[in-house]
Amino acid sequence: MSQITVNTFSVIRLITISLLLIPSLLHAHNNPEFENKLIISVDVNESTQLSSEKFTITYPKETIRLVWDVKSEDKSKIRFSLKQGDEIIAKNLKDGMEVMPSIFNDESIVITDVTGADSSFKIDVLARVIVEKKKTESALTSAGKKVYKQANCVGCHKWHGDGGGGYGGAALSLRTTVLNAELIKLVVRCGRPSSGMPFHGRSVYKGDDVSCYETTGEEFGEDKPPRARKLLSERQLDAVVDYVVNVIKGSGEPSLEQCTAYWGEKSRQCDSLRE
């Protein structure tokens, strides 16, 4: 019978929810970078009463906004609308205005209802896309990779961190995790209650220690996380968390380059990615 009290159970439940069920809040800490990519340049002609010819927009799937960049000395004064078929789908746009790409369908578009311009000009349509940050390996992340191997994180999370089966069960993916560094360290240090994820902290769950989920090991009873084969110092915990955050997390699909960076250029572990 578990010795967990009602109050302790509430704490565990709160931690579990914060770790697993509210990724949208944690995702805000990722701070993605953006760039604008030119899709098309559109002529707005004086000869057609300051409107454009029909044109279509094809944008990358990772586009989050379409930016309308007016190329004119009068750009601060110019206003315009977008017409698709017989419907005005956006009006009173100006230089630098952003619109959601979802407002467009497969029909062609016309720039119309232009004001504030005395002559022809161009408008560049730009796709604002998320740019994946290039992962770099500092001295700390290099040390973290060593800890990742020594602590046998690879046993469950695999070299690529994408998870899978292991002695502790089916591990979650570190490549797609939404946890920030602080919460990742909490899980590595304290393990996950009622799961196969072991604790790696050297000083946790000893006597009256409540540094993990505000609960002692005795209060957890049978729900206490298992002990890892190798326990880690605070410095080692920081290093392995840095490695997970800066090398594994958000790295997309496992690649040959990532595999050889982990195992070495000639490793047979990477043969499946060479085909």
User: Per-residue pLDDT tens for 77-94?
Assistant: 999 999 998 999 999 999
Residue 134: predicted pLDDT: 54
Mean pLDDT along residues 8-16 = 50
Percent pLDDT > 90 in the chain is: 60
Residue 43: predicted pLDDT: 95
Question: Cα separations (Å) of 145 from 34, 177, 182, 184, 254?
Answer: 29, 18, 18, 15, 16
Q: Is the pLDDT of residue 61 over 90?
A: no
* Among 9-18, 35-44, 201-210, the least confident range: 9-18
Task: Specify which residues 83 forms β-bridges with.
Answer: 88, 110
Percent pLDDT > 70 in the chain is: 84
Residue 132: predicted pLDDT: 61
In the numeric block, which tokens belong to residue 166?
């292991």
Query: Residue 32: which pLDDT band, with cuts at 50, 70 and 90?
Result: low
Tell me the pLDDT tens digit for each residue of 143-198.
999 999 999 999 999 999 998 765 555 688 999 998 999 999 999 999 999 988 99
Task: Tell me which fold the domain 33-131 belongs to.
Answer: Jelly Rolls (2.60.120)
Residue 22: predicted pLDDT: 41
Residue 28: predicted pLDDT: 39
In the numeric block, which tokens belong to residue 202?
């050297």
Residue 167: predicted pLDDT: 53
69-75 — which CB contacts under 8 Å span 24+ positions? Answer: 69/95, 69/96, 69/123, 69/124, 69/125, 69/126, 70/94, 70/95, 70/96, 70/121, 70/122, 70/123, 71/41, 71/121, 71/122, 71/123, 71/124, 72/117, 72/121, 72/122, 74/116, 74/117, 74/118, 74/121
133 secondary structure, DSSP code: P
Residue 6: predicted pLDDT: 44
Residue 48: predicted pLDDT: 79
* CA–CA dist 7, 13 (Å, integer): 10
The distance between the two most distant Cα atoms of the chain, rounded to a whole number of Å, is 85
263 secondary structure, DSSP code: H
Mean pLDDT across the chain, nearest whole number? 85
Domain ranges for the chain, please list them: 6-31+134-274, 33-131
DSSP string, 63-123: EEEEEEEEESTTTTT-EEEEEETTEEEEEEE-TTEEE-GGG--SS-EEEEEEES-SS-EEE
11, 176 contact by CB (below 8 A) = no
